[in-house]
Amino acid sequence: MTLRLGYGTNGLTDLRLDDALGLLADLGYDGVGLTLDHMHLDPLAPDLTARTRHVARRLTELGLGVTVETGARYVLDPRRKHGPSLLDPDPGARAARTALLVRAVDVAADLGAHAVHCFSGITPPGTTTDAAWQRLTDALAPVLDAAIRTGIPLAIEPEPGHLLATLADFHHLRTLLGDPEPLGLTLDIGHCQCLEPAPPVDCVKAAAPWLRHVQIEDMRRGVHEHLPFGDGEIDFPPVLEALAATGYGGLTVVELPRHSHAGPELARTSLEFLRSATRATNGATAC
């Protein structure tokens, strides 16, 4: 199976969204990881429905698939990165994050997206682990209801430093929620290298039944820094082979949010790298 490759708009924030989509289509990407943010389909600005329709038409014209991502740093609070989170001590603040995710699910349905990505957030000071998990499950309930209503899977991402940081934490959440059908996993390949006890290839194999979204970049062990391909430690051909073997049909999206200054060039070189790594895998398999 051939992987469907995409690039995240959080690595193209210096481009207008129309221009970013055109760039990715011209380069030969299959899709885009669309982060809802003030510069790209702002989820809080007026006329969201009309703007979403325009983006949907543009995606169709360009033949691009899409995943909706919700990792915008300051879309809700201009002073707190990723604030408020699903774990915020203030119930009203948590509700604002929940409402944003519900809106993201509706936008995803209008775009024909294959999943909505999210993450738990960092456990606030003074919050017990049990209380944090309770807040997370309560805050996700309306989002999962929206996922059921629209048929759009919710793909939560294990994020280093967050309450839900590992694959084991994802399975803990599944258990707490009663293993709801629309709850799936965003697997970030770099995070596997950074944090998981197993190597990325084994993480892919273990995560296969729950994969709804994949992010990919290079990374080093123990350092949460998204790196261009070749600047980290990951051996990519076996990882790509394992991903293809799972039968995963969604997008595998390059995630370089701190490299937007070089976004167009990195989009080009990243696709070349992944295609080369895929050819190396295919060549090894043929031998």
Distance of alpha carbon 257 from its chain centroid, rounded? Answer: 11
Q: Beta strand pairing status for 65-69 and 218-220? A: unpaired
- Which residue in the block uniquely carries the two structure tokens 């799936």? 184
Which residues, in sequence order, are bridge partners of residue 156? 118, 185
Q: For position 267, what pLDDT does the model report?
A: 98
Q: For position 279, what pLDDT does the model report?
A: 83
Q: For position 284, what pLDDT does the model report?
A: 54
Query: Is 3.20.20.150 the CATH number for 4-286?
Result: yes
- Is residue 163 within 8 Å of 87, Cβ to Cβ? yes
> Using one digit for the tens of pLDDT, what is the confidence trace for 119-168?
999 999 999 999 999 999 999 999 999 999 999 999 999 999 999 999 99
Domain ranges of the chain: 4-286
Q: For position 281, what pLDDT does the model report?
A: 67
This prediction's pTM:
0.95
Q: What is the pLDDT along the chain (287 residues), one digit of tens a residue?
A: 589 999 999 999 999 999 999 999 999 999 999 999 999 999 999 999 999 999 999 999 999 999 999 999 999 999 999 999 999 999 999 999 999 999 999 999 999 999 999 999 999 999 999 999 999 999 999 999 999 999 999 999 999 999 999 999 999 999 999 999 999 999 999 999 999 999 999 999 999 999 999 999 999 999 999 999 999 999 999 999 999 999 999 999 999 999 999 999 999 999 999 999 998 766 555 43
- Is residue 61 within 8 Å of 26, Cβ to Cβ? no
